[in-house]
Structure formats: C-alpha cells, structure tokens
Structure 1
Amino acid sequence: MTRSGKKNHRQQRGTAARRRGIWAETLAVAYLRLKGYRVIERNWRSKLGEIDILARRGNLLALIEVKTRADTGLAGGALLQPQRQRLLRALSHYLKTRPELAGLDLRCDVLALGRFGWPVHLVDAWRPDF
C-alpha cells in the first residue's frame, strides 16, 4: 500500500469515528431530554477543551461526557484522570463566561453508549474539585 493509501484509510477511520460521535451525542441529547434535562450546550469548545453536553435540570448543571464503546462497561471506564482535569478546566472557563449559571449545583456525569441496548447514565461519575 502506498503512503497515500494509508493516509486515505486513516482519514476514512477518522470520518467514521466523527459520524459515530455525532450519532452518539444526538442519541444522548434525546435520552437526556426524556429524563427531564434541558440541554444548554452541545460540543462547547474553548482553548482549554471541549465539553460534549451541558444540561440543566432544576438547580443542577451537569457536565456530561459521552463515551461510546462496543460494551457500555468499557465506555464508562474510558474517562481517565487527565481527561477529567481537562474537562474541569473547560467547565471552569465556561462558568466564567456564563455568570448566571455560577450558583447552580455542579455534577459530572458519563453517558455510556454501547453497540446495543439503552444508554447507561453514570450519574455523579466524579466530583468537580473547584
């Protein structure tokens, strides 16, 4: 295989992964709305990181990281400490841009999606430490 063939294969894998990610986040948003959450941000990006979903229910603001794997058990464990720290830095920056949300209770969740079955919502997967 030529170098350009490898590059095209990598680009195709990246495109497929992006499509799976968009599908997973769309499913996650629908699921959260059914549970009574109001999604206020989706794919919020800053120089400090990206937040998949920010959703509000009552006095609660939930940062929700969407993870997809072949098995939801694997998806739930896919969020490592450096990723958590990056998400919290992004959340802190987000809250500085939206002072009206600063007084809400914060929670960090993971919404795990496997190949089959319902999404698994890991509520309070970790605590923000700020």
Structure 2
Amino acid sequence: MHRDKTPGNSGQITSTAAFLNSTQSKYAQTMNYLHQRVGTHYSVEVVDTFTGIIEGERRQLGERTIMRLTVNQIKPGMMFASDYSTSYGLLIAARGEQISGEAITRLIALAEIGEIPTKILVMN
C-alpha cells in the first residue's frame, strides 16, 4: 500500500507488509543457504542465534511504518530503514540506526552536495 503523506508527493508511506514481502525471497534464500551448511561450514549455535536475531528484527520491522522523506522532513528519533553510503563507499547511516538532530544536519549537507539521495527511507 502506498499513499501520499503530505501534499505535493513530498512524503510517501509504504506499508511494512509490502516491504517485508519484497525482501522475503532474499531472506528465504539466505536462511536456506545457512541451514544447508549447518554442521559443515557453520555451527548450529551460531546459525540458531543469527536466525533468532534476524527473525526478531523482522517482527519489529512489521510494527513500524516505512516512509521515503526528504532529508529536511526527517525528525530526531526516527530510524534509518536502509543503509546509506557516500559516493566513495563510506557508510554514513546504517539500517536500524536512530537518527539524531546532529545527524539530520549532516544528512542535509550531504544531500545538498549530491553524496546521498535527497529522499531516504526512514522508520518511525
């Protein structure tokens, strides 16, 4: 489900169900890959722990709203819904990281010089 959050298409809300569905195939492939190699490449404890963490994150994500907002619409306390890197590969924002007021100032500056998109995915 997509719907405009504000007039003029400046914000877009995406249902988390749609996001989770769009990533389900990659998630299933990754889990199958890991579980097929339990005991030969990976220990049972490591795979079980990793799987538990990932499943917990996906459950938590299902309770959040994902939005594509311009960097000047982002509010402190929101979380990044995707990783963002500069053009030379430096990670500047990690998915799940909480956004501070200082981070917003830096994001605006990076968007102004074209190092990151002007609209990014956030969760609240």
TM-score (norm 1): 0.25
More strand by share: 1
Q: Which gives a bigger RCO, structure 1 or 2 (Cα 8 Å, sep 6+)?
A: 2
Query: Which structure has the greater CA radius of gyration?
Result: 2
